[in-house]
Amino acid sequence: MDESKYYEFIDLYKNPEHFGKLKDFDASEENYSSSCGDKFVVYIKMDSGSIRDISFEGNGCIISTVSLSKLCGAIIGKRTAEVDNMQISDVKKLIGVDQISLSRIPCAMIGLETVKKALKSVAKHAKQ
């Protein structure tokens, strides 16, 4: 990843979009990276099988925060299965980066993993 990309991210890092707690949500999940100390909570509001709104709180590095912020923007309106199928390549596309070093892949993925976890918890609640 190029350093100029980092510079481009700094504003979004300091003032991320979709940051904060939704007033009304169906599920929330927390995720934690033991090597980095990154900690995020995701809040999801569903509407007949699609994501109506999503937000997050927490702290992380530039890559994890920007990835999660952009992810939130990208998946509003999407169905659970579509998000479940997303992978690292989709995250890279979202943040416009071709190469992420092996050691930073967990940073890029922690947001997507938290969202997937939250969607599972939505599904579990729906069954009950």
Partner 1 sequence: MQGFDVDAIRKDFPILSKPVNGKMLAYLDNAATSQKPLAVIDGIKYFYENLNANPMRSIHSLAEKATVAYTEAREKIAKFINASPDEIVFVRNSTEAINLVSMSLEFNRGDRIATTYLEHHSNILPWMRLKDAGVDVDIVDVDENFDLDLEYYKELKENTKLVTVSHESNVSGTINDVKIISRLAHEAGALAFVDAAQSVPHMKVDVKNLGADFLCFSGHKMLGPLGIGVLYISRDVQYGMMPFLLGGEMIRSVKLDKVEYQDVPAVFEAGTQNVEGAYGLGLAVDYLNQIGMQNIEAYEKSLTNHLYKAAEEVYGLSVYSGRSRNRGTIFSFNLKSLHPHDVAYLLDKEGIAIRSGFHCAQPFVEDKLHVEGTARASLYFYNTKSEIDRFIKSLTDINTTYG
Closer residue to partner 1 in complex, CB, 36/123: 36
Selected binder of partner 1 within 44, 63, 97, 122 (CB under 8 A): 63
Give yes or no for residue 79 binding partner 1 (CB under 8 A).
no
**Rounded-to-integer distance, Cα 116 and Cα 121, Å:** 9
* Rounded least distance, CB 30 to partner 1, Å: 13
DSSP letters, 60-95, are --HHHHHHHHHHHHHHTT-BHHHHHT--HHHHHHHH
* Rounded least distance, CB 112 to partner 1, Å: 18
Give yes or no for residue 34 binding partner 1 (CB under 8 A).
yes
